[in-house]
Structure 1
Amino acid sequence: MNTNDLKIFEAVAANGSFTKAAEAMFTVQSNVTARIKALEEEFRTELFTRTSRKVELTAAGHTLMQYCKQISHLVEEAKKNVGSSDLVNGYLKVGCVETTMALKVPEILSGFAEHYPDVELEFRSEMRSTLINEVLNYKLDAAFVPGPVNVAELEQINVKEEQLVILIAAKAPKLADLLQKQPLKIVVFEQGCVYRARLESWLSAKGIIHYKSTVLNSIEGIINFVEAGLGVSILPEEIISQYYPGRQIITYPLNRQLGTINTVLISRKDVPKSGALKAFLDKY
């Protein structure tokens, strides 16, 4: 077995077909079939179930896939670090939720780039659950997410505590009056957003279970819609005070239980960390 065998195995799993895997790996189908057969003989178990329509991983195949991801990650880290100088360099993929992208990323980019100019950073914003899964599956080196994160394979560093506030338009009626309107209009990110979940919990605690949602994918969009009187929303107070102080928006505080969110920086704990990732984590 060699790493190329495992890449062929991953290609078959990803494409659900020996033929498509051969095309993806720029080889012939007979070679793909032979390499998978060799792997199955080496592990003494079937890795795929084969039907006339598609090929799927067996339970043993799913187990091997987890090891493949670890092996691929370790090989890439070895290429970055073995035989290199003491200079911290490389490429880091970091994830964050939309609000962290607005608040933290500019500061991170300027500060980190000044100390480690040879490290290239790639940031991507996603929902919390997606970010956690991508760190677990080695697609991201680290991610800023609302904590705590109770996953055995991950370690977390506390970054900051944020206070959430309810937002309404300055021209709108008072919040208490708005809550009496049926159905209440809310402006939120898509399902899976922790801020949306907090707003819905707050409304539920007030006995409001029927509301009309307008779903947007940016902070700027939410601010614009709230200011125009198109609904109620929730965001970290720091975003409003730091980036939108002049907007026609009124904020209302929440109690500590619902209004406090801790941002943590997560990474895998069971693999060696590159010099670049160590340097990044050391900032916190």
Structure 2
Amino acid sequence: MNTNDLKIFEAVAETGSFTKAAAAMFTVQSNVTARIKSLEEEFGAELFSRTSRKVELTAAGKTLMQYCKQISNLIAEAKSDVQSSTRVSGSLRIGCIETTMALKVPEMINHFEEHFPDVDLTFKSDMRNALINDVLNFNLDAAFVSGPINLSGLDQIRIREEQLVIVTASKGPNMEELLAKQPVKIVVFGQGCIFRARLESWLSSKGIVHYKSTVLNSIEGIINFVEAGLGMTILPEEVVSQYYAGRKIISNALDKQLGTMITVLIFRQDKTQSAALKAFIDMYSKLDKSEIIAPLNEAQSAGKRGKLKIRETKKMP
């Protein structure tokens, strides 16, 4: 077995086809078949279930896939560390929820690149559970999510505490009138969003279980709909006060239990970490958070220089 055998194995798993894997690896199908057979003999287990339509990983194959991802990451990190023993370089894949993506990522890039200009940062926004799974499955190096997290295989550091508020239109019914009108209208991100979950929990505490949801995929869209009187929402107070202070909306306080959100940075409990990941974790562990979370307008240019890449999904927090 060699690393190329594992790459062929990954190609078959990703494409679901020996033919497509051969094309992706610039080889012939007979070689792919031979290499997979060799791996199955070496591990003493069938790695794929084969049908006339598709090829799928078996339970043993899924186990091997996890190790393949670890091996690939270790090789990439080893090359980066060996090639640059004096400067931190390489790449990092960081996950975050939508509010972090839209409002905080430029600040993170600006701050990190000042200290580590040779590191490529790729950001991805998604739902909390999806981000956690991506970190566990080696698709992300780390992620900012609401915490605390209690999962085997993950470490975390506390980043900050935020206060959430219910946002309503300033021109329109007050909170009591909004809650009295049935069905209550809410404007939210999709299922899996921490803000939506908090709003639904708050409504439930008021004895309201039936409500009409308008689902949008951007903060700006949600603010527009709330301002137009089409429903209420929950967002971080800082987001509302710093970036939408001039809008015709009102922030309504929540009790401490529902109104407090703690953000943590999660990462795997690997025995080895790349120099780039160590630098990223150390920066958030040691620096005062006020140094990192600077006003957005002071960091707008961050995404225009350096090596910033942003891959944003359609899913939200």
Same fold (TM over 0.5): yes
Q: Is the 8 A contact 2:132 2:143 kept in 1?
A: yes
Whichever residue aligns with residue 206 of structure 1, its letter is K
Hey, what does 1:124 align to over in structure 2? 124
Hey, what does 1:221 align to over in structure 2? 221
Whichever residue aligns with residue 133 of structure 1, its letter is N
> What is the number of equivalent residue pairs in this alignment?
284
Which range moved further: 195-204 or 43-52?
43-52
User: Does 2:2 match 1:2?
Assistant: yes
Deviation at 1:262, TM superposition (A): 0.4
Deviation at 1:83, TM superposition (A): 4.0
User: Which whole-Å CA distance do the structure 2 matches of 1:68 and 1:248 have between them?
Assistant: 53
Hey, what does 2:272 align to over in structure 1? 272
Q: Is the 8 A contact 1:74 1:271 kept in 2?
A: no
Deviation at 1:53, TM superposition (A): 2.0
Q: Is the 8 A contact 1:225 1:231 kept in 2?
A: yes
User: Which whole-Å CA distance do the structure 2 matches of 1:228 and 1:54 have between them?
Assistant: 50
User: Does 2:167 match 1:167?
Assistant: yes
Find the residue that maps to 1:283 and give its secondary structure. helix
Hey, what does 1:112 align to over in structure 2? 112
User: Which whole-Å CA distance do the structure 2 matches of 1:28 and 1:224 have between them?
Assistant: 55
**Gap regions ≥5 residues in structure 1:** none
- The 5-angstrom pairing of residues 237-276 of structure 1 reads 237-276=237-276
Find the residue that maps to 2:180 and give its secondary structure. coil
User: Which whole-Å CA distance do the structure 1 matches of 2:154 and 2:187 have between them?
Assistant: 32
Give CA deviations for 1:220-263 in whole Å, capped at 9, x if unaligned: 11111111111100000011111111111111111111111100
Give CA deviations for 1:87-123 in whole Å, capped at 9, x if unaligned: 1122211111011224432321221111112222222
User: Does 2:17 match 1:17?
Assistant: yes
User: Does 2:86 match 1:64?
Assistant: no
Q: Is the 8 A contact 1:91 1:119 kept in 2?
A: yes
Calculate the TM-score normalised by the size of structure 2: 0.87
Q: Is the 8 A contact 1:8 1:32 kept in 2?
A: yes
Deviation at 1:271, TM superposition (A): 4.3
User: Does 2:177 match 1:145?
Assistant: no
**Gap regions ≥5 residues in structure 2:** 285-317
Higher RCO, 1 or 2 (CA under 8 Å, sep at least 6)?
A: 2
User: Which whole-Å CA distance do the structure 1 matches of 2:51 and 2:111 have between them?
Assistant: 54
Find the residue that maps to 1:168 and give its secondary structure. strand
Aligned CA RMSD, in angstroms, stands at 1.2
